[in-house]
Amino acid sequence: MTEPERRLIVIVGPTAVGKTELAIRVAKKLRGEIISADSRLFYRGMDIGTAKPGPVERKKVPHHLIDVVDPDETYSLAVFQREVERLTGEIRARGHLPMLVGGTGQYVLAVVEGWLLPAVKPMPVLRQALNTWANEIGGQVLHDRLALIDPEAAAAIDARNLRRTVRALEVYFTTGVRFSAQRRKEVLQPDRILVGLNRPRAELYARIDQRIEQMIAGGLIEEVKQLNSRGYSSDLPSMSAIGYQEIGKVVEGKISLEEAIVLMKRRTRKFVRRQAAWFKPADPRIRWFNVGDNTESEVMDFIQQVLTHG
């Protein structure tokens, strides 16, 4: 049995399911500190479109790995892994319980499963050649080329994320080994307590629609304009995130706000389906809870039972 002080609570689930709200309530009761595993929350100035926890929420419980880079900077999976390891050690040293919370499947599982990422240094000349190729044939076609070479890697990478597509191809062309084959995994460590949250799909979609409407009413258009005025253009990987890409086109006069809202809702639904591929209901490692009136007490009972009895 793993010692309680080595535990890491992991809360996963689809976007808009209510992970943040529940995690904060649980963290307050367990003296927990939250480490974000939502890759969109890394970027400073991207607050409304990411539903980033605000100052009031972050005052209730310490949050980490939020606002750590600017939108034109990268925050790699390897860096994320190292930071999570460092932070969990510091949190435990304070006598608190680390809680990894988020819906970015790749980042969560990289920690949970102890991925050993390819130790391949960037090749600037090759990377430039791949980016030039992408400019000529388009990011989607480049992603299609990756799918021919490495279907597993392509399935895990959003076609809009050119940086990750290029990286997977860079690793393959440098080593001759598929990127997915080099992503080795260690045995799942027993000190991870995985909690999954879910809602009926219709209810989840209604919450997504409401959240998007609130983002628009809360100033997402102005936020995108401010980011643009600071030099963060729509061709940055960070600005391809749901909401920022669509509202960026509104600001540029390419589509109407009504069209943008429809596209945002459609992309978010697709994103939820991709999240389900990372966090499967049949995964025996995850204890799933349907969100309702008693979810907090049910989750607390489960966590405390595992902490006490292993």
Tokens describing residue 76: 């790699």
Tokens describing residue 192: 């991870």
Distance CA 118, CA 100 (A): 23
Are 33 and 62 within 8 A, CB to CB? yes
Distance CA 97, CA 195 (A): 15
Please report, as a single letter, which amino acid is at residue 185. Answer: K
**4-116+185-309 and 124-182: same fold?**
no
CB atoms closer than 10 angstroms to residue 101: 26
Residue 184, pLDDT score:
56
Q: Which fold has domain 4-116+185-309?
A: Rossmann fold (3.40.50)
Residues composing the chain: 310
Within the chain, which residues score under 50 in pLDDT? 1-4
Tokens describing residue 188: 């799942």
Are 119 and 77 within 8 A, CB to CB? no
Residue 161, pLDDT score:
83
Which residues make beta-bridge pairs with 181? none
Give per-residue pLDDT as tens, 11-47: 999 999 999 999 999 999 999 999 999 999 999 999 9
Q: Which fold has domain 124-182?
A: Histone, subunit A (1.10.20)
Distance CA 151, CA 236 (A): 25
Tokens describing residue 189: 């460590």
3-state SS string for the chain = CCCHHHCEEEEECCCCCCHHHHHHHHHHHHCEEEEECCHHHHECCCCCCCCCCCHHHHHHCCEECCCCECCCCCCCHHHHHHHHHHHHHHHHHCCCEEEEECCCHHHHHHHHCCEECCCCCCCHHHHHHHHHHHHHHCHHHHHHHHHHHCHHHHHHCCCCCHHHHHHHHHHHHHHCCCHHHHCEECCCCCCEEEEEEECCHHHHHHHHHHHHHHHHHCCHHHHHHHHHHCCCCCCCHHHHCCCHHHHHHHHCCCCCHHHHHHHHHHHHHHHHHHHHHHCCCCCCCEEEEECCCCHHHHHHHHHHHHHHHC
87-92 — which CB contacts under 8 Å span 24+ positions? 87/33, 87/35, 88/8, 88/35, 91/33, 91/35, 92/5, 92/6
Distance CA 113, CA 89 (A): 18
Axis-axis angle for helices 162-175, 139-149 (nearest 10) = 40
Domain residue limits, the chain? 4-116+185-309, 124-182
